[in-house]
Structure 1
Amino acid sequence: MGKFVNNVDEFFKFCEENEVKFVDFRFTDMKGFWHSISYNIKIVEPDQFKNGIPMDASSMDGWQPIDKSDMLMMPDVETAFLDPFTADPTAVVFSDIFDIYKGELYEKCPRSIAKKAMKYLKDSGLGDEAYFGAENEFFIFDNVKIVDSTNCAMYEIDTEEGEWNDDTNFSSGYNSGHRPRKKGGYLMTQPIDTATDLRAEMMQVLEQVGLDVMLGHHEVAQGQNEIGVKFGNLVEMADNVQKLKYVIKMVAQLNGKTATFMPKPLYGDNGNGMHVHQSIWKDGKNLFYGEGNYANLSDFARWYIGGVLSHARSVAAFTNASTNSYKRLIPGFEAPSILTYSSQNRSASVRIPYGAGEKSVRAEFRFPDSTSNPYLAFAAMLMAGLDGVKNKIEPAGPMDENLFKLTLDEIRERGIEQFPHTLRGSLEALIRDRAYLKDIMSDDFIQAYQHMKFKTQVWPYEARPTPYEFKMNFSC
C-alpha cells in the first residue's frame, strides 16, 4: 500500500479530507520505544516540516544532559498515516531528531542512524538498495501479573490456550479442552487456535496504516502468533516494525487481551523471534543471486553472511537487546545460536529459503528478536554484512545437518563460533568489536547505548534473586 502522502501540500489535503483534529509527531528512543507530541491541527504550519518541532532530549534515557536538552523533531511527511485507535481523527508522522548544537541529524537518533547506514551503502558503491523483511512473532495472553519488590518477585501469565488450564473452571462454566499443547500450535486451526478472528482484525488494521499484509497464522507455542508483511528498504521496514507492534498491541488491548513481543515469556515452550530477510541490490539487480552456486548464492551474498556472522557477537547487542533475549537462544526451541548458514535448515543462524530465484534470493537471519530497536538492529547487520563483502569474509558452512543435535565439544571441534549467552556478553563484545560501525555510530552513541543497557537491563537483572535460585539454594 505504501505512502498516503508525498509532500507537505498533500499532507494538509490529506488532513482536510479525513477531518484530522490532531497531528501526532512520533520518534523512537534508543530502546526502541515510541514517543510523541500531539499538536492541534489548527496550529500546524508547513514551515514546521522544514524547521522542526522543539523537544526535550534530556528526558530520554541516554540522550542529552539537562543543560543542553533542546533538540528538534524533524517530521518525515511521507510517513504520515491515520491513527486507527484515537477517538478524534489523528494523523501520525514519523520524525527524526536534529541536533541544534552540531547542526546535523542527532548521532543518538536511531532512525537517523538507519538513514546513515543507507547513505553509507550508496556512497560505498557496493549497492544502492538494501531490502529487509522482518517476521515478528508475538504472544496473545488473557492476563498478566508482575511483582518485583524487595521481598517478592513473581510473574503469572495466562492464556486460555495454555495446557495448565485443562482443569480450570471458567466463569462461563465451560472448558472446551481444545489446546495446542507445548510446542504443538504451529499452523493449527480453530478450535485449537483461539486467535483466528483477532489476527484477522490485526491484519486489516495493519492494511489501514499502510502495510501490505501477506499472511497470518498460529505459531508453535501456546498463545503464539505471527503476521507476515511485505519487505521494504531498511528504513521503511524499521518504520513498519514500529507500526506493526503498535497495531498488534492496541488491537489486542481493545479486545480485552494483551500482546507481547517478549522473546521468552513461557518456560519450556518456543519463544518470539524477529527473523530478518536481507538482500542488497544495485542497478535493479539482486546482488545476492549467483546462478548454479549453493542455494543460488553469489559470492557477494556469501561474504555478506560471513560479515554478519563474524561480527555477530557484537551485532547481538543491537539485535538481541534484552536479558530475556538469551533465554530464547538455547537449543531445542528453534532459536539458533550456532553461527553458520544453510539452505532450508532452520537450526542454522542464517537460512537460505528454498526455491529462491533471481529476484527472491535472500538470507534469513534467525537470531534477532523484537526487543531490539529495529533501526539499530537493521543498520548494524547491514554494516557488518558490507564489512564482510569488502573483506571477502567466508562464513562457516554451509552446514545442512540438524545443528541442535551437536554437543558443545562437537561445535568446538568444527571451529564454529556461537552466539553470546548473555546480554552482558554481547555488550562486552561490542566494546572489542565496533570498528565496522564507525561510519554510522559514534563512540559517544555506543558508550551511551552500552551504559543504558547495563543500567536498565544487565545490572538490575544480575542483582535480583529468582524463584529458581531459591528452589536450588535456599536449603544449602
Structure 2
Amino acid sequence: MVYKAEYIWIDGTEPTARLRSKTKIVKDDVSHGDLPIWGFDGSSTNQAPGDNSDCVLKPVAVFPDPIRGGDDVLVMCEVLLIDMTPHPTNTRAATAAIAEKYADQETWFGIEQEYTFFKDGRPLGFPVNGYPAPQGFYYCGVGADEVFGRDVVEAHLEACIEAGIEISGINAEVMPGQWEFQVGPAGPVEVGDHLWMARWLLYRIAEEFGITATVDPKPVKGDWNGAGCHTNVSTKDMRENYDAIIAACEALGSKAEEHVKAYGAGIEDRLTGAHETAPWTEFSYGVSNRGASVRIPWQVAVDKKGYIEDRRPNANMDPYVVAGLITNTICSAAAGS
C-alpha cells in the first residue's frame, strides 16, 4: 500500500515569493518522519538556470492532509542546493539559526494574516460596475450585504484545524472580500511553517470555489484598507515586565529602515499614514494606537507585561524573514543590555 505526500516549497519569484507543490507516492512502510529528500526543476521556479537546474527538497514539517484525508500528508520543505547547503531563497534556515542563538529568551509570535478574495477580476463583493458601499460595516460584519466568501473561510478554518496548524481565529476585514486568520502563538520557525502551510491551504481550498486569494498589500487603490500581516511578539522578559516591552519598542525603532525594507514588497503603497497605518518613513509606538508602527495593547499597559504588535509587515511578507529579523533585533538588544 501507499500514501500521498504533497511536497510544498517556497519559490524564487521576486519581489514576492510564491508557493509550489507536487505529489510524491510513498510506500506505507516509510513513516511520515522519515520522508526522503526529493528534487525539482529550479529553472521553472526562478531558483536555477536551465543548464544547472536541479534543486533539492528537504522535508522539515509534516501535517495531516485535510483535503485528501487518510494517511496522506502535507510536507513543508526547505530548498537546498545539490551540495545540501541552503539555497539562496531558503529563508527558513537563517531564521532557524537565529532562533537557536536566542532560544533562552523564548520568543513567541502570533501573526495576523490578512488576504483578499477575487473572482472574475475584481474583489469578491464588488459590483461589476463601480464600487460597493464605503468601508464601515464590513469589518466583523454579518449578512449577505456585508460579508463575502464566508463559505471559503469556514472550509479553510476547518482544514487548518484538521491539519494541526496553530490557527487561533478568523474574522472579516475592513474591505469587502477581505478576511484575516491568525496563527500562533509559536516560535520563530514554527510560526513560519504554520503560516506558509495555512496560506497553501487557503489557495488550494479557494480553487474548489472558483475563487482566488491574494496577499497583495494594496489590492484596490484609493480609499480602501490595504492588507497587512500584523506580527505580535513577546520574549520571556516581555511577558514578565514592562521595561522589556519598552526596550523592545526602542530596539525596533533603532532598526526601523532595515525592518521596513524586509516587510514585504509594495509597503509604501500600504503604509501611508491612513487606514490605520503609520507612514513607512516614520517610526512610532504607543498604547492602543493602531496608527503607530508598533502598538502596545492597552491590557499590556495595565498589566505591565505581555507583548507588542508590529503593525508594519505587509500581507505578502515572508514570515521566516520577519520573525527572524524581529527576534534578532529584540533579543540582541536585550542580550547587550
User: Which one scores higher on RCO, CA 8 angstroms, separation ≥ 6?
Assistant: 2
Query: Do the two structures share a fold, i.e. TM-score over 0.5?
Result: yes
CA drift at 1:222: 2.2
Q: For residue 260 of structure 2, what is the aligned residue in structure 1? A: 316
Q: Looking at CA atoms only, which structure, 1 or 2, has the larger radius of gyration?
A: 1
> 2:4 aligned with 1:39, yes or no?
no
CA distance in 1, matches of 2:207, 2:89: 31
1:373 corresponds to which letter in structure 2?
A: D
The question of whether the paired residues in 2 share the 8 Å contact of 1:162 and 1:181 is answered with: no
The question of whether the paired residues in 1 share the 8 Å contact of 2:147 and 2:176 is answered with: no
| Structure 2 residue corresponding to 1:160, chosen from 125, 129, 134 | 125
CA drift at 1:104: 4.2
Identity of aligned residues (%): 21
CA drift at 1:116: 1.2
Equivalent residues in 2 for 1:71-110 (5 A)? Answer: 71-76=55-60, 79-86=61-68, 90-101=72-83, 104-106=85-87, 108-110=89-91
CA distance in 2, matches of 1:238, 1:250: 18
CA distance in 2, matches of 1:64, 1:193: 43
| Matched residue count | 329
> 2:144 aligned with 1:194, yes or no?
no
Q: For residue 114 of structure 2, what is the aligned residue in structure 1? A: 137
Can you list the C-alpha shifts for 1:399-426, whole angstroms capped at 9, x where unaligned? xxxxxxxxxxxxxxxxxxxxxxxxxxxx
1:258 corresponds to which letter in structure 2?
A: T
CA distance in 1, matches of 2:102, 2:207: 39
2:268 corresponds to which letter in structure 1?
A: Y
CA change 1:129–1:28 in 2 (3 A) is farther
Q: For residue 276 of structure 1, what is the aligned residue in structure 2? A: 231
> 2:135 aligned with 1:182, yes or no?
yes
Q: For residue 160 of structure 2, what is the aligned residue in structure 1? A: 206
- Scaled by the length of structure 1, the TM-score of the pair is 0.61
CA distance in 1, matches of 2:138, 2:95: 35
Q: For residue 301 of structure 1, what is the aligned residue in structure 2? A: 245
| Structure 2 residue corresponding to 1:346, chosen from 290, 295, 320 | 290
| Structure 2 residue corresponding to 1:111, chosen from 82, 92, 98 | 92
Can you list the C-alpha shifts for 1:233-289, whole angstroms capped at 9, x where unaligned? 111111111122222223333123222111111122001000000112xxxxx2114
| Structure 1 residue corresponding to 2:272, chosen from 320, 330, 339 | 330
CA drift at 1:216: 2.3
Unaligned runs of 5+ in 2: none
CA drift at 1:87: 9.4
1:142 corresponds to which letter in structure 2?
A: K
For structure 1, which segment, 214-223 or 258-267, has the greater mean C-alpha deviation from structure 2 after superposition? 214-223
CA distance in 1, matches of 2:299, 2:312: 22
CA distance in 2, matches of 1:40, 1:54: 14
2:102 corresponds to which letter in structure 1?
A: L
CA drift at 1:134: 0.5
Higher helix share: 1
CA distance in 2, matches of 1:315, 1:135: 18
SS in 1 for 2:169: strand
| Structure 2 residue corresponding to 1:265, chosen from 219, 224, 228 | 219
CA distance in 2, matches of 1:131, 1:159: 34
- Scaled by the length of structure 2, the TM-score of the pair is 0.84
SS in 2 for 1:270: coil
CA distance in 2, matches of 1:58, 1:187: 43
Equivalent residues in 2 for 1:336-375 (5 A)? Answer: 336-337=278-279, 338-356=282-300, 361-375=306-320
CA change 1:46–1:230 in 2 (3 A) is closer
Equivalent residues in 2 for 1:121-136 (5 A)? Answer: 121-122=102-103, 127-136=104-113
Q: For residue 223 of structure 1, what is the aligned residue in structure 2? A: 177
Q: For residue 236 of structure 1, what is the aligned residue in structure 2? A: 190
CA drift at 1:49: 4.0
